């Protein structure tokens, strides 16, 4: 029986009705393409959020997270679903979204969360939280929702109620991940396929940098892309091939707009090329595309930072590394490194050593296992 079962019981004096787990994600390639109608290639990882919950007989909601013990137990009422200005805004926003989508929640519930995902590191702890809450609500109230719908609900909650205009990648990966496979997802059509990922290991290095303005800078990038899309007169930036973009890019006289759009179009194509390389087991080509992706995020999209650039540059010069890039929204967070299995230990030692020498802090490093998406755990 999982530990969270007992922790729930200790706090609420009743056993939970169900326990679920929603993983974090790491994106291998296809960055800032999802909200431009393009392709992404994320994986779900073994780290994530556990949620235990039980239905109540009244309309009260109670939330407790082991990650934020100082916030204590947060209470609210189904008839007054106001944001609280803390982590509980995520579950509250998902509950509001259920109502907005025509799935009213009649009874209250008690929730308990525990997480082994580093907060603010760019491994999508917020998407995992949204998906965990969605899974739990569908179970507690017997609502017939698919995992894809839960991903869309999570994204809607974040867009509408949290105020970050994120794409669908993070929630989709958390809900739909598959052990030992990457997900090639077209964020426009939501069509997807699983691509086996084998014979290499993935190591995540956390720069420890958290950019406080990351969400507003993210929304700025979206606006810049939208301006470019209108000037190019296309339904989405990712509907253009590289060649079409190069032919039409004269209409983008503003340098920033031009570079943002170039990143998106080229990154989208790189993602398809990378998925094809993975399918044919060509890890060298895959790694090279990861390196190209980083360069483009750094120079054209300008969402990297000194620490991420240092980690990537250092990694790319370590023996046995196929490729290295920043992953996620950027402005801090993590790098993802694809490495030959036999080189993993040396890589971890060297990357820690170099980062410590340069920035005087030891980065957290995670060897990740490619895992299944959200599911229920036996209680
Ligand atoms: C964040 C968003 C995703 C995606 C990435 C950048 O993680 O939540 O939807 O846009 O940034 O690729």
pLDDT value, residue 213: 58
pLDDT score of 300: 98
Residue 2 has what pLDDT? 82
Say how many residues make up the chain.
379
With a cut of 50, which residues of the chain have pLDDT below it? Answer: none
pLDDT attached to residue 212: 64
User: Which one is catalytic: 170, 255, 282, 372?
Assistant: 170
* 306-316 and 344-359 helices, crossing angle to 10°: 140
Question: Which residue from 24, 27, 30, 34 has its CB within 8 A of the most atoms of ligand 1, so it is best to mutate?
Answer: 34
Tell me, what's the pLDDT at 164? 87
| pTM to 2 decimal places | 0.97
Residue whose CB lies within 8 A of the most ligand 1 atoms, among 28, 29, 32, for a mutation test = 32
Among the atoms of ligand 1, which is closest to the Cα of residue 27? Answer: 12
d(CA 292, CA 323): 9
pLDDT at 373: 98
């Amino acid at each position: 029986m999982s530990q969270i079962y007992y922790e729930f019981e200790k706090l609420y004096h009743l056993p939970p009705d169900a326990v679920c787990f929603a993983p974090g994600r790491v994106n291998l390639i296809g960055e800032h393409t999802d909200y431009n109608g393009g392709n992404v290639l994320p994986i779900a990882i073994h780290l994530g959020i556990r949620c235990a919950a039980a239905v109540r007989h009244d309309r009260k909601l109670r939330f407790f997270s082991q990650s934020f013990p100082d916030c204590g137990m947060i209470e609210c009422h189904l008839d007054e679903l106001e944001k609280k200005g803390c982590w509980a805004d995520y579950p509250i926003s998902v509950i509001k979204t259920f109502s907005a989508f025509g799935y009213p929640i009649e009874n209250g519930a008690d929730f308990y969360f525990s997480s082994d995902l580093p907060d603010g590191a760019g491994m999508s702890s917020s998407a995992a939280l949204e998906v965990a809450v969605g899974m739990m609500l569908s179970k507690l109230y017997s609502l017939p929702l698919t995992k894809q719908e839960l991903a869309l609900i999570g994204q809607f909650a974040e867009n509408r109620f949290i105020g970050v205009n994120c794409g669908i990648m993070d929630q989709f990966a958390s809900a739909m991940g598959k052990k030992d496979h990457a997900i090639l997802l077209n964020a426009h059509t939501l069509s997807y396929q699983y691509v086996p990922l084998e014979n290499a290991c993935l190591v995540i290095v956390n720069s420890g940098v958290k950019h406080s303005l990351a969400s507003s800078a993210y929304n700025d990038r979206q606006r810049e892309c939208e301006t470019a899309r209108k000037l190019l007169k296309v339904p989405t930036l990712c509907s253009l091939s590289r060649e079409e973009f190069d032919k039409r890019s004269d209409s983008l006289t503003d340098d920033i707009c031009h570079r943002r759009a170039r990143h998106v179009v080229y990154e989208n194509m790189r993602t398809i090329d990378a998925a094809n390389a993975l399918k044919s087991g060509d890890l060298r080509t895959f790694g090279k595309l990861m390196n190209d992706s980083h360069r483009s995020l750094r120079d054209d999209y300008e969402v990297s930072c000194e620490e991420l650039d240092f980690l990537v540059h250092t990694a790319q010069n370590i023996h046995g590394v196929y490729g290295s890039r920043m992953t996620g929204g950027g402005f801090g967070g993590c790098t993802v490194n694809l490495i030959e299995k036999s080189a993993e230990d040396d890589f971890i030692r060297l990357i820690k050593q170099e980062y410590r020498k340069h920035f005087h802090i030891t980065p957290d490093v995670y060897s990740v296992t490619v895992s299944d998406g959200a599911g229920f755990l036996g209680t």
